[in-house]
Amino acid sequence: MIGRHFLRQLRHDRQGSTIIEFAILAPVIFSLMLGVLQVGLHMHAYNAVRSVVTDTARFTTVEYQKDNDLTAEQIESRAIAYAVNPPYGLTIDNLTVLVTQPASTITGTKRFNIEVSYVPQGLLGFIGVGAPTITVNRPVYVAT
């Protein structure tokens, strides 16, 4: 009789069910929270990379207006300086800057192609989701 009463009472007891449900759902909840943070970090990095390319293009244009002839390496180093210093503060290990000088299609101009790639910090590596690479490419034409 005591055994049946105990089993019946145990079957109707719901005190531990909340902790079990939380233990089952906690990884999903935390992954969703980290996913929201990952999207925020990605948007911040995307805006920073776009701004770095814009600032570099502006620098190149202004220097050519002052009759300073720049090389692709000088433009690359300026882009890296913009990227790693405030306000952008990108990680240099995850940053790739490439400045090329293809032939210009406009007479009397020089063309530079500025390409910046960045891999933002990933928060979801523990579930196999990596951060996508951000690449921004912009041509700059300067008068010669």
Which residue shows structure tokens 């145990």?
A: 10
Predicted TM-score of the model (pTM)? 0.82
Q: What whole-number distance in Å separates Cα of residue 82 and Cα of residue 61? A: 16
Q: What are the distances in angstroms from CA 34 to CA 28, 29, 91, 133?
A: 10, 9, 20, 18
Pairing of strands 95-100, 109-118: antiparallel
pLDDT in tens, 115-132: 999 999 988 888 888 889
Tell me the backbone φ, ψ of residue 95, rounded to 5 degrees.
-110, 135
What's 87's DSSP letter? T
Q: How much is the mean pLDDT over the chain?
A: 91
